[in-house]
Amino acid sequence: MTPSPTAEITGLYRYPVKGLTPEPLPRAPLRVGQTLPADRRYAIENGPSGFEPESPQWKPKIQFLMLARNERLATLDSRFEDATNRLTIRENGQIVASGDLETAAGRAAIEGYFSANFQPELKGPPKLLSGRDHSFSDVARKVVSIINLGSVRAIETMLGGAAVHPLRFRANLYVQGWPAWSELDLVGQTLAIGQARLKVIKRIVRCPATNVDPETGKRDLEIPPTLSRNLGHMDCGIYAEVIADGEIGVGDEIAVEELV
C-alpha cells in the first residue's frame, strides 16, 4: 500500500503528564531530536522505579501510573500551564489538586491527591517525576507519534461498526488522507510538514490502554486482540523522529518525500 502524496493534520496533541489528559494544540514548534514541547514531560511513579532526575534514564511504562492498568486516570481532567508549570486536576468539574510541578510543594500537592484516591492501584507512594528535558515516552527515543484516521475507521469496521475515539491512541498527530494501514509501510521514510522533516522509525504496537474510552474511563473494547485476529499483528500508528526544525499545525499538509 502506498500513501497518497499528501494528507492533512486534523489533530495535534500533547500529554504533559503521562497517563493524564490530552491537550489540543493549534500549532507547535518541532525541534531536531525533541518531542512536542512538554509532551510526556512528567510522570507519576507507581512505587520505586530507580529514576534519577539529575541523570534521567528511560524506564518502562509499568513503573508509572498509566491507562493500560489504571483506567480511572481517564476520568480526570488535567491542564498544564507552561508559564507557571502548574498542573490543575479536576474531577467531576471540581478542582481536586493543583501545584507547580517544578517545586517540592507543588509536586506534593499532586502526590497527595493520588495517594488518597488511588490506593488500590498503588505499589508504593506516588511520586511526581520530572527529568528536565526528559520524555517519559513508551519508547527510549524522543519521538512524535502519528495516527492515520483511515486506520481508525478500519478498526471500527473490524469491531462491527463500534465507534472508536481516536484519542484512545494518545497520538501527537492525527492525519486524514492516507489509505488505511498505509502508514505502516513508511518506516525508514521521511515526512515533510512545511519546513519540518520527520523520519519514521518504528510501527507502534498497541497495548490495553487503547481499550479504555478516553471520555468515560471504561474498558469497553478489545482493540489489540481485534488487530491480531484481523491483521496478524497489533500495530496501529507510527513513531517518527524530528530531523529538521519547523512549526506544524492543524490543517497543514503532510507529505511523504520521494526516495532518491
The 10s digit of each residue's pLDDT in 210-245 is 999 999 999 999 999 999 999 999 999 999 999 999
Lowest-confidence region among 26-35, 87-96, 132-141, 246-255:
132-141
Provide the mean pLDDT of the chain: 95
Residue 147: beta bridge partners?
174
SS3 sequence of 129-169? EECCCCCCCCCCCCCEEEEEHHHHHHHHHHCCCCCCCHHHH
The 10s digit of each residue's pLDDT in 111-155 is 999 999 999 899 999 999 998 789 999 999 999 999 999 999 999
Degrees to nearest 5, angle at CA 20 with 43 and 191: 85
Contact 215, 74 (CB under 8 A): yes
CA distance 100 to 105: 8
CA distance 31 to 60: 24
CA distance 115 to 257: 48
